[in-house]
Amino acid sequence: MVDEQKPFVGNRGGMESYLVEPGGSLAGEIIVPGDKSISHRSLMFGAIADGITEIDGLLASEDCLATAAALTAMGAKIEAPEMAGDCWRVHGVGLRGLKRPPGNLDLGNSGTSMRLLTGLLCAQSFSSTLVGDSSLMARPMERVAVPLRLMGARIKTSDGRPPVMIERCQGLTGIDYQAPVASAQVKSAILLAGLYAKGVTRVTEPGVSRDHTERMLASFGVPVIRKGMTVEIEAPAALRAHRISVPGDLSSAAFFIVGACLASNKGVTLRNVGVNTTRTGVIEILRKMGAKIDVATAPTAKGGEPIADIRVARSRLKGIDIDASDVALAIDEFPVLMVAAACAEGVTRVSGAEELRVKESDRIRTVVDGLVALGAKVDEKPDGMIVTGGSLKGGVVDSHGDHRIAMAFTIAALMASGPVRVLNTRNIATSFPGFADHATRLGMAITQETLS
């Protein structure tokens, strides 16, 4: 690990923001926190398994803690490491053991929690209502509700958005669903419901999406059949508890991968990162841009996920064209990739990225606004943007409470000519608690501010 650098300092309360000093060079090695997508699934699957599931490396972010709290409210006992030793322990209640929660299930900012739990809860013998913060309450949920209704679920939304009101199940039937777009969350919700449905549940997607659910179901002993873009399961399908190792989150590592490409004289190493091929689009895109990234694979983690150490050297990046197939495999990494594009030589053109408009923020608009605030030349398009590489200046960027926007523009300060103030950084804790500490260990100077 690297020696301590400038300390990360700040106060709590009020609107949290970062003041990031310009320039600098990243160097050293870190271990990024556990993968958020895998952490959510390990908690959910452990809760409905038979026996005790032990989880190493679970991401204790606000999003994952919201999932844990919801499952606890429905009768699952979940022990954090301070209670359970060196890992999290989920005492499964079995496939039919969840109980009606005492009130609404508040999932905070977590879209993954809401969409996957909709699939799980639509099969239960009790009613439930899912709510969240103002950002989550504005996000679309019909994409999940529509296929689940075809299975027999009774789900209501408010003009397609939360609250998601789920009536007690009268019985589900498996479907053969042809998904209009590739979506791991929609696929996962259908497969969770399919654990309870009569007959075969089959999902076919038009392209590749993350396959963490399929891998984890198989590790819990559920027979999963995969053929090309189709995955199917057949109920009844009981889950057997076991020990899971959650690899580091590549989406979190991406901020420092880009930072190292832009500003690292000695290189940066990220240890034990998940490199599932449905997630490595960010690495492939950066390599097309000219990034020097070495992936040294290691033995597969418990739970079926490939892991690796990733070594990154300073690189001379160039602009490229990024289309819908690229975006689908790097959807969460888009904000920091556009920071890389703004610092590359030439023009980067992005198309087929409409999905980014319905994330925690409209990520096309917030990325464009942030880059413009730092002096970049950017043209916004309905389904993407055109970024002309050049230099960045200091300035103020509003993240609009979007964790990935906040982290991306913190990294942008490495290439800025003046200080960068990033507003609304509180929600970074939803996915990457300790982000600023990791950044300062690698060499950045970040002061947390409380602004009135």
- Rounded CA-CA distance 128/306 in Å is 36
Q: Which of 35, 63, 332, 398 is catalytic?
A: 332
| CA within 13 Å, CB half, 163 | 11
CA distances from 333 to 28, 302, 393 (A): 22, 25, 22
133 is catalytic: no
Cα distances (angstroms) measured from residue 117 to each of 81, 142, 418: 24, 14, 44
Please give the distance of CA 339 from its chain centroid, rounded to a whole number.
18
Residue type for position 328: A
Taking the chain, what is the end-to-end CA distance rounded to the nearest angstrom? 37
Per-state percent for the chain, helix, strand, coil, to nearest 5: 35, 25, 40
DSSP, res 266: S
As beta bridge partners, residue 446 has 20
d(CA 78, CA 84): 9
Q: Which residue has the tokens 């200091």?
A: 394
Bridge partners for 52 per DSSP: 91
Where in the sequence numbering do the catalytic residues fall?
A: 332
